Amino acid sequence: MVSSPLLQEKPSAPEAATRCPEAADLSVSQLTAIVTSPLAGCFGSTNPDDWFPVAARADRARAEAARALRLCAACPVRAHCLEMSLRLWHAGGKHGVWGGLIAPDRGQARRRWLAGTPVEALLGDR
Protein backbone atom coordinates (compact mmCIF):
# COMPACT_ATOMS: atom_id res chain seq x y z
CA MET A 1 0.00 0.00 0.00
CA VAL A 2 1.25 3.45 -0.91
CA SER A 3 1.44 5.94 1.93
CA SER A 4 1.11 9.51 0.77
CA PRO A 5 0.03 12.78 2.34
CA LEU A 6 -2.30 13.23 -0.64
CA LEU A 7 -4.30 10.22 0.51
CA GLN A 8 -4.98 11.54 4.01
CA GLU A 9 -8.55 12.56 4.65
CA LYS A 10 -9.69 16.10 5.42
CA PRO A 11 -6.37 17.95 5.63
CA SER A 12 -6.44 21.47 6.94
CA ALA A 13 -6.06 24.20 4.33
CA PRO A 14 -2.50 25.21 5.37
CA GLU A 15 -1.35 21.57 5.41
CA ALA A 16 -2.88 20.88 1.99
CA ALA A 17 -1.18 23.95 0.53
CA THR A 18 2.27 22.87 1.75
CA ARG A 19 1.93 19.20 0.79
CA CYS A 20 0.54 19.44 -2.72
CA PRO A 21 1.72 22.43 -4.72
CA GLU A 22 -0.54 23.78 -7.41
CA ALA A 23 0.00 22.16 -10.77
CA ALA A 24 1.35 25.38 -12.30
CA ASP A 25 4.19 25.44 -9.77
CA LEU A 26 5.59 22.07 -10.84
CA SER A 27 7.98 21.12 -13.63
CA VAL A 28 6.93 18.72 -16.37
CA SER A 29 9.09 16.06 -14.70
CA GLN A 30 7.30 16.57 -11.40
CA LEU A 31 3.90 16.52 -13.11
CA THR A 32 4.84 13.31 -14.90
CA ALA A 33 5.88 11.67 -11.64
CA ILE A 34 2.55 12.56 -10.03
CA VAL A 35 0.35 11.72 -13.01
CA THR A 36 1.98 8.31 -13.51
CA SER A 37 2.00 7.41 -9.81
CA PRO A 38 -0.43 5.10 -7.99
CA LEU A 39 -2.23 8.25 -6.82
CA ALA A 40 -3.65 8.68 -10.32
CA GLY A 41 -7.11 7.22 -10.84
CA CYS A 42 -5.98 5.78 -14.16
CA PHE A 43 -2.93 4.02 -12.69
CA GLY A 44 -2.93 0.48 -14.04
CA SER A 45 -5.68 1.12 -16.58
CA THR A 46 -4.68 -0.67 -19.74
CA ASN A 47 -7.52 -0.27 -22.23
CA PRO A 48 -6.62 2.54 -24.67
CA ASP A 49 -10.16 2.50 -26.03
CA ASP A 50 -11.30 4.03 -22.73
CA TRP A 51 -8.85 6.93 -23.03
CA PHE A 52 -8.87 7.70 -26.76
CA PRO A 53 -12.40 8.14 -28.08
CA VAL A 54 -12.63 8.21 -31.88
CA ALA A 55 -16.03 9.87 -32.35
CA ALA A 56 -15.95 13.27 -34.03
CA ARG A 57 -18.91 14.67 -32.09
CA ALA A 58 -18.14 15.69 -28.52
CA ASP A 59 -21.25 14.05 -27.03
CA ARG A 60 -20.37 10.73 -28.64
CA ALA A 61 -16.72 11.05 -27.62
CA ARG A 62 -17.84 11.59 -24.01
CA ALA A 63 -19.99 8.46 -24.24
CA GLU A 64 -17.05 6.44 -25.60
CA ALA A 65 -14.80 7.74 -22.83
CA ALA A 66 -17.37 7.36 -20.04
CA ARG A 67 -15.30 4.85 -18.07
CA ALA A 68 -12.21 7.08 -18.17
CA LEU A 69 -14.21 10.18 -17.29
CA ARG A 70 -15.63 8.43 -14.21
CA LEU A 71 -12.12 7.58 -13.02
CA CYS A 72 -10.99 11.15 -13.61
CA ALA A 73 -13.92 12.68 -11.76
CA ALA A 74 -12.66 11.25 -8.46
CA CYS A 75 -8.93 11.49 -9.19
CA PRO A 76 -6.82 13.44 -6.67
CA VAL A 77 -4.27 14.42 -9.36
CA ARG A 78 -6.76 15.56 -11.99
CA ALA A 79 -5.47 19.16 -12.07
CA HIS A 80 -1.88 17.96 -12.46
CA CYS A 81 -2.92 15.74 -15.36
CA LEU A 82 -4.72 18.58 -17.11
CA GLU A 83 -1.77 20.93 -16.56
CA MET A 84 0.59 18.38 -18.08
CA SER A 85 -1.58 17.86 -21.15
CA LEU A 86 -1.85 21.60 -21.76
CA ARG A 87 1.90 22.10 -21.44
CA LEU A 88 2.60 19.16 -23.74
CA TRP A 89 -0.17 20.02 -26.19
CA HIS A 90 1.95 19.60 -29.32
CA ALA A 91 3.65 16.46 -28.00
CA GLY A 92 0.48 14.40 -27.58
CA GLY A 93 -1.37 16.35 -24.90
CA LYS A 94 -4.17 17.29 -27.27
CA HIS A 95 -5.21 13.67 -27.84
CA GLY A 96 -7.27 11.42 -25.59
CA VAL A 97 -8.66 12.06 -22.12
CA TRP A 98 -6.56 14.16 -19.73
CA GLY A 99 -7.73 15.69 -16.48
CA GLY A 100 -11.24 14.40 -17.05
CA LEU A 101 -11.70 16.27 -20.33
CA ILE A 102 -12.01 14.95 -23.86
CA ALA A 103 -10.05 16.70 -26.60
CA PRO A 104 -12.71 19.24 -27.70
CA ASP A 105 -13.37 20.28 -24.09
CA ARG A 106 -9.64 20.52 -23.40
CA GLY A 107 -9.22 22.67 -26.52
CA GLN A 108 -11.69 25.17 -25.09
CA ALA A 109 -10.03 24.99 -21.70
CA ARG A 110 -6.62 25.51 -23.32
CA ARG A 111 -7.62 28.88 -24.72
CA ARG A 112 -8.53 30.06 -21.20
CA TRP A 113 -5.36 28.48 -19.77
CA LEU A 114 -3.22 30.33 -22.31
CA ALA A 115 -4.96 33.54 -21.19
CA GLY A 116 -3.82 32.85 -17.62
CA THR A 117 -6.63 30.84 -16.01
CA PRO A 118 -5.15 28.16 -13.70
CA VAL A 119 -6.22 24.56 -14.29
CA GLU A 120 -7.80 24.38 -10.84
CA ALA A 121 -10.20 27.16 -11.92
CA LEU A 122 -10.85 25.43 -15.26
CA LEU A 123 -11.83 22.25 -13.44
CA GLY A 124 -13.91 24.18 -10.93
CA ASP A 125 -16.07 25.38 -13.83
CA ARG A 126 -17.01 21.78 -14.68
The answer to whether residue 9 scores a pLDDT higher than 80 is no
Summary mean pLDDT of the chain: 84
**Could you tell me the residue ranges of all domains in the chain?**
21-124
What is the tens place of the pLDDT at every residue in 92-126? 899 999 999 999 999 999 999 999 999 999 998 66
DSSP string, 36-101: TSTTSTTTT---HHHH----SSHHHHHHHTHHHHHHHHT-TTHHHHHHHHHHTGGGTTTSS-BTTB
Angle at 56 between CA 53 and CA 69, to 5 degrees: 35
Over residues 26-46, the mean pLDDT reads: 91
The answer to whether residue 4 scores a pLDDT higher than 60 is no
The answer to whether residue 14 scores a pLDDT higher than 90 is no
CA distance 83 to 59: 23
Among 34-38, 46-50, 71-75, the range scoring the smallest mean pLDDT is 46-50
pLDDT band at 10, cuts 50/70/90?
very low
